Amino acid sequence: MKKRIVILGGGESGWGSAVLAQREGFDVFLSDSGRVAEPYRGRLAEAGIAFEEGGHTLDRILSADEAIKSPGIPDKAPVVRALRERGVAVISEIEFAGRYLRGGRTVCITGSNGKTTTTTLIYNIMREAGRQTALGGNIGQSFAYAVATGDYDWYVLEISSFQLDGMFDFRADVAVLTNITPDHLDRYDYDFQNYIDSKFRIVRNQRAEDFFIYSGDDPVIAENLPRHELPMQLVPFSAGQELCIPFPHMKIRGLHNKRNALAASMAAAAAGVDREAIARALENFQGVEHRLEPVAEVGGVEWINDSKATNVDSVWYALQSMTRPVVWIAGGTDKGNDYGPLLDLAREKVHTLVCMGTDNEKLVGAFTGVVPEVIDTHSLDEAVEACRRAARPGDTALLSPACASFDLFRNYEDRGEQFKKKVMSL
């Protein structure tokens, strides 16, 4: 009798897990409490994978031998609790896909900030060096889909804390931890230590021949290192170190991107890439979409899309890198933010804060009296118009929200795309 795998969630992670489970001969059933979006809905039907949408049929779900949970579903969801009460293991797609690597190795990147840039840069370096490399995890295609449909030497994976929470036996050959600052505390009982412990799962099961690349400048990492058994090779990086090419020669800017480049360089070197390939990739790297992405200059005002900055620390680095007076757009779904670390930079750099969200009370309260003008808006159209009126030639209009996007947008990508279209229409 075939072992039964149930997959919760019909997005990229769920679809990839379903394809891999089917390839490995499991009886597969996918369940989504909402509507399975295209193109995944059509692909599931075409592949003959059984699925349901608009709710969970518990009898079918609880018949699972094992369940794979998409990262957006919290552990407190009733269907997850029901599975665990039944004694069914609930794992992440990362855990599942890692069982079927067939000799491929992994570079796994996590952190509160910088992980997408670092992951993309490592992938570019590996490709520059001629390695057969897949990019996946929390960006690009899912890890499971890459394993199911390709034959790669290396998998470069951005891994979120939510994915790490469902990881038990998986092991990273090279683990990268960019930093740890408060984020997603609403998913961790508003306890920062719970979130820290989740991030440190990146080194789970590592052996003496593996590598752990981490920020030597991060006080939270330094404080928590002694709490873990670390048999692997430890490789800290620091903003004071020199890159293999002068940082001004790179196309990306900001101190945070120097740290990202250092982390990527060390990870690639740990994977056996030579210095010349690393230098070529660093010099040519353009950055990632929605992260300090220049959009246009309109009437002498520079517009920048930093929609991926969904927490306070990301915004700190964005503001720190600004060299012109700033009109700052922030707001969205607050995740338990403490805006204190931004106050000095906002006072120094920002002359107008445009709040964009359904409920801006916390943001308005935090920056009233700190920033000369605070404007409360409740849509993208209102926010961009307020920026247009407030910005003067020589200013930067910066979308760097510090919050999740789900009050007004589907996700941070949707927020960034809509922002760019609106700016280009000015």
Q: What is the pLDDT of residues 105-155, one digit of tens each?
A: 999 999 998 899 999 999 999 999 999 999 999 888 999 999 999 999 999
One DSSP character per residue, 188-233 reads TTT-HHHHHHHHGGGGTT--TTSEEEEETT-HHHHHHGGGS---SE
- At residue 40, the pLDDT reads 93
C-beta of residue 117 within 8 angstroms of C-beta of residue 293: no
Alpha-carbon span 108 to 212, nearest angstrom? 10
| Averaged pLDDT for residues 383-412 | 94
d(CA 162, CA 184): 9
Rounded Cα gap, residues 12 and 18, in angstroms? 10
pLDDT at 253 over 80: no
C-alpha span between 280 and 142 (Å, rounded)? 27
Please determine, for residue 164, whether its predicted confidence score (pLDDT) is greater than 80.
yes
Instruction: Give the pLDDT mean for 392-407.
Output: 94
Structure tokens at 91: 């794992």
Q: How confident is the model at residue 257 (pLDDT cuts 50, 70, 90)?
A: confident
Whether the CB-CB separation of 311 and 293 falls below 8 Å is answered with no
Q: Output 251 or 25, whichever has higher pLDDT.
A: 25
| Mean of the per-residue pLDDT values of the chain | 94
Question: What CA–CA distance (Å, rounded) separates 115 from 157?
Answer: 10
Q: What percent of the chain lies above the pLDDT cut of 70? A: 100
Instruction: Give the model confidence (pLDDT) of 185-216 as tens digits.
Output: 888 999 999 999 999 999 999 999 999 999 99
Summarize pLDDT for 12-29 with one digit per residue, the tens. 999 999 999 999 999 999
Q: Pull the structure tokens for residue 420.
A: 């760019």
CATH architecture of 101-284: 3-Layer(aba) Sandwich (3.40)
- Does residue 184 register a pLDDT over 90? no
CATH 3.40.1190.10 positions along the chain are: 101-284
CA distances from 309 to 29, 117, 154, 330 (A): 35, 12, 28, 10
pLDDT of 166 higher than 80: yes
**Above pLDDT 90, what percent of the chain?**
83
DSSP string, 25-57: T-EEEEEESSPPPTTHHHHHHHHT-EEEESS--
4-91 folds as Rossmann fold (3.40.50)
Say what the pLDDT of residue 186 is.
Answer: 86
Backbone conformation region of residue 22, classed left if phi is above 0, alpha if psi is from -120 to 50, else beta: alpha
DSSP H helical ranges for 321-411:
343-349, 361-367, 380-390
User: Cis peptide leading into 236, omega within 30 of 0?
Assistant: no
d(CA 384, CA 165): 38
Cβ–Cβ under 8 Å, residues 207 and 231: yes
Q: What are the two backbone dihedrals, phi and then psi, of residue 90, each rounded to the nearest 5 degrees?
A: -115, 115
Residue 404: pLDDT over 90? no
Phi, psi of 294 (to 5 degrees): -65, 135
pTM of the predicted model, to two decimals? Answer: 0.81
293-424 under CATH 3.40.190.10, yes or no: no
Nearest Cα residue to 148 out of 17, 254, 326: 17
**Residue length of the chain:** 426
> Residue 7 carries which side chain, given as an amino acid letter?
I
Distances (CA, A) of 112 to 141, 173, 235, 401: 21, 21, 19, 15
Residue 329 has pLDDT above 80, yes or no: yes
Most confident of 83-87, 310-314, 315-319: 83-87
Which has the higher per-residue pLDDT, 344 or 247? 344
pLDDT digits (tens, 9 = 90+) for 268-299: 999 999 999 999 999 999 888 898 899 999 99
As a whole number, mean pLDDT of residues 313-326 equals 91
Structure token pair of residue 313: 């620390």
CATH 3.90.190.20 boundaries in the chain: 293-424
pLDDT score of 314: 87
Check whether 254 has a pLDDT greater than 80.
no
Closest CA to 64 of 87, 34, 40: 87
Cα distance between residue 132 and residue 153, in whole Å: 5
**The token pair that represents 262 in the structure block:** 């250092």
**Bridge partner residues of 333 (DSSP):** 404
Q: Which amino acid is at 382?
A: E
Joined tokens for residue 183: 């984020």
CATH 3.40.50.720 in the chain: give the residue spans.
Answer: 4-91
Residue 423 has pLDDT above 80, yes or no: yes
